[in-house]
Amino acid sequence: MINSKPILFSAIQPSGNLSIGNYIGTMRHWSSFQDNYECLYCIADLHSLTTLNKNFSLQNSVLDTLALYLACGVNPKKSIIFIQSHVYQHSQLNWILSCFSQFGELSRMTQFKNKRKIQDNYVENINIGLLNYPVLMSSDILLYQTNLVPVGQDQKQHLELTRNIANRFNLLYGDIFTLPKPLITKTGSKIMSLLDPTKKMSKSDTNKNNVIFLLEDISSVFLKIKNAVTDSEMPPKIYYDLRRKSGISNLLEILSAITNKKISILEKEFEGIMYSEFKKIIFDNISKFLHKLQKSYLVYRKDESYLKKVAKEGAIRARLKSEKILKRVSTAIGIN
């Protein structure tokens, strides 16, 4: 049977507690994609090795992430859910594509430069996995002839690199790889940090007050929202203006994403109210959202044997699919 649905691939690194930024930037759409696309949702544990910490249980974090995928409505009957390291084809293609990637282009990636920079110095003893990181990401995507990749704005550059690598390969060996397109939403693709709304909210931020985590205790969110940076406009006004009101705009984006209401509608609703009242409404909505998500998460997380079954079946299906393209690549370059 020919499957005519476009192929959609997305992944998250299980390197810690996922943030509301991860949810809003990608996961919130995953469930609805399942009816229109052939979806693959991957847990990128090999990517997490780039920042491995001995005291951190990657194995637990992988299961936490899988339970969160299910709690967000990803259905293993409709989509392929799998763990990257269970499908060896990813590492195999990673090596092959490394040989079609250039040191210059990889060292110019913004994320790599940020990781390499400590204060104003570029460190030399950075692990090569961090340099190679976007090539592994390209392998994830290209292995499935992916058409669409839903991601937040921070991954756009990696998608461009993926297209460049695929093009380079195709020019030499014919049309082997499909060129994927990023799917980046207009609002919510870059949720900002609460205390510094000029920088991205990141799950690895050392200051936890910058981040709302999907699995955090709801009571701790109250203070985080209360302390979130706003502005000193007098009288206070709630409207979207990224340049002049980055804090308020960020809170509006978060609220819009979790309530499914347009920002223009929210602006009207909040005409004339104080920032403290606005923040209380934000907290009420976030706590409602987190409560529902965490309740569903706990049901899945308790059943480890079910989670392992989902991962095992997903890996079998992902291997079957990825093996086909890996064979074509191997034949083209003469290693099969």
By rule CB under 6 A, what string of x and - marks binding of each residue 147-176 to ligand TYM? --x-xx-xx---------------------
Distance of CA 323 to the CA centre of its chain: 25
Considering the candidates 54, 181, 200, 302, report the single residue annotated as catalytic.
Answer: 200
138, 97 Cβ separation under 8 angstroms: yes
Considering the candidates 115, 190, 245, 321, report the single residue annotated as catalytic.
Answer: 115
Residue 104 is assigned to a ligand binding site: no
Q: Is 41 in the site for ligand TYM (CB under 6 A)?
A: no
329, 176 Cβ separation under 8 angstroms: yes
What DSSP designation does 205 have? -
Reading the block at residue 135, the tokens are 């090539």
Which position among 8, 16, 40, 47 is part of the footprint of ligand TYM (CB under 6 A)?
Answer: 47
Cis peptide before 182 (omega within 30 of 0): no
Which position among 7, 8, 13, 301 is part of the footprint of ligand TYM (CB under 6 A)?
Answer: 13
Residue nearest to ligand TYM (CB): 25
CB half-sphere exposure, 170, CA atoms < 13 A: 14
The yes-or-no answer on residue 200 being catalytic is yes
Ranges of H-type helices in 108-205? 110-116, 128-142, 156-173
The yes-or-no answer on residue 203 being catalytic is yes
Whichever of 52 and 274 has its CB closer to ligand TYM, that residue is 52
Which position among 7, 11, 97, 228 is part of the footprint of ligand TYM (CB under 6 A)?
Answer: 11
Stretch of residues binding ligand TYM (CB under 6 A), selected from 184-192, 256-264, 294-302, 320-328: 184-192
Which position among 38, 45, 64, 140 is part of the footprint of ligand TYM (CB under 6 A)?
Answer: 140
By C-alpha distance, which of 144, 134, 155 is closest to 178? 144
Considering the candidates 117, 156, 181, 203, report the single residue annotated as catalytic.
Answer: 203
Reading the block at residue 50, the tokens are 């780039």
Residue 256 is assigned to a ligand binding site: no
Which residues are registered as beta bridge partners of 121?
A: 118
Q: How many residues does the chain have?
A: 336
Whichever of 22 and 230 has its CB closer to ligand TYM, that residue is 22
Residue 13 is assigned to a ligand binding site: yes
Angle subtended at Cα 136 by Cα 156 and Cα 188, rounded to the nearest 5 degrees: 30
Stretch of residues binding ligand TYM (CB under 6 A), selected from 59-67, 69-77, 186-194, 309-317: 186-194
**How far are the Cα atoms of 12, 176, 322, 328 from residue 38, in angstroms, in the given order?**
18, 20, 14, 21
Residue 204 is assigned to a ligand binding site: yes
R_g of the chain, CA atoms, integer Å: 21
Q: Which residues are catalytic?
A: 115, 200, 203
Sequence ranges of the binding site: 13-15, 21-22, 140, 152-154, 191, 200-204
- Judged by the rule CB under 6 A, the positions of this chain that interact with ligand TYM are 9-13, 21-22, 24-26, 44, 47, 137, 140-141, 149, 151-152, 154-155, 189-191, 200-201
The binding site for L-tryptophan comprises 140
